[in-house]
Amino acid sequence: MGINNQEIKYQIDHRLKTAHDLQGSGKVLHAVQIYNSLINDFPEHTEAYFRLAELYEIIDNLKPAIILLKNLLEKYPDNNDVRLFLGQFLLRNSMWREANDILDSILSEEEPITSFFLGYSHFMLKEYELSKINFLNFISFEDQSELLHEAYLYLTKAEIELENYENALAFAKKAELLYNNFWELNLLFGISYYHLGMYAHAILPIEKAIKLNTSEASSREWAGKIYLKSGDFLKAEENFLKYIELKEDASSEIYSNLGEACFSAKKPVDAKAYFEIALKLNPNNKFAKNGLRKTSTLLEHN
């Protein structure tokens, strides 16, 4: 008398649970053995492959996991679940090009989430135009997705990198519905307004970004730039100094901006010191050279 499908399902579920429990109690090798036995007994059942690959990932043994999943995909090249699982696995482990190769063959209309993954992957590769295309493609198919506002957030970042600041601002406003109290979105608002010359508009979001994440150095850097442009030189100085405190390897540009803030705040001695540090870090910094020259001239006259 043969085993019916229900009994097979019960066997598989029971063995998957046993392997999961063994894994949870630290008996990794025993769990691996059960997953492998399931794969041998039921090679068409993909869950055992997925669980085993995740276990390899947990123990930082990626190579056999990737080989396992690629072999599975070779057996079932038209199985989008397998292709998506492998693509996400590669993304989680920063294998951007490999993930793109796997995910590119999935049609967006069949699996819109693929466009989101490709958008993210291209963004991480600094391929911002391709990232933008894929995120827009995702939005066109999934206008009610839970990932919609995250897609808008990445579109904001991509447009800033592409120097399309008005577009960045438009996407930031769409992301704001969910990410209003996320420090990075407020930073992106500040950056966009800064590049559009709207310095007064940039102050509120950059201050909010700092309040939401006091340990983020980049918010202090942009606050310094924004206040320098808006004419509040003491606040510019304060934020550049805070940036240097948070970031040990501050650049020559930061010190030259700090020098400019101090010079404009009528603190030429401090300005001279900062311009000199900027030039030690980068002797070719023309802004710092000019700043040192005008500061030295002022001090000599005084």
Q: Which long-range contacts (CB under 8 A, 24 or more apart) does 166-170 make?
A: 166/196, 168/192, 169/193, 169/196
The CATH number, out of the four listed (1.25.40.10, 2.40.10.120, 2.20.25.240, 3.30.470.10), of the domain defined by the range 181-249: 1.25.40.10
Residue 1: pLDDT over 80: no
User: For residue range 208-233, what is the model confidence (pLDDT) as tens digits?
Assistant: 999 999 999 999 999 999 999 999 99
The conformation of residue 213, written as its DSSP 8-state character, comes to -
Token code pair at residue 50: 């997925």
Output DSSP code: residue 61: -
| pLDDT per position as a tens digit, 255-264 | 999 999 999 9
Specify whether the CB–CB gap between 100 and 118 falls below 8 A.
yes
Kindly provide the residue ranges of all beta strands, DSSP E only, lying in the chain, ordered along the sequence: none
Looking at residue 26, the DSSP 8-state letter turns out to be T
The SS3 call for residue 292 is: helix
Cα torsion 104, 105, 111, 112 to 10°: value is 30
Section 60-70 average pLDDT: 95
Across the range 57-76, mean pLDDT stands at 94
pLDDT of residue 2: 46
- The 3-state secondary structure of 100-165 reads HHHHCCCCCCCCCHHHHHHHHHHHHCCCHHHHHHHHHHHHHHCCCCCCHHHHHHHHHHHHHHCCCH
Hey, where are the domains in the chain?
181-249, 251-302
Q: Do domains 181-249 and 251-302 have the same CATH topology?
A: yes
Residue 242 CA to residue 245 CA, distance in Å, equals: 5
Q: Is pLDDT at 164 greater than 60 in this prediction?
A: yes
69 is written with which tokens? 């999943």
Q: Read off the pTM.
A: 0.90
pLDDT at 19 over 70: yes
pLDDT of residue 117: 97
What is the assigned CATH class of domain 251-302? Answer: mainly alpha
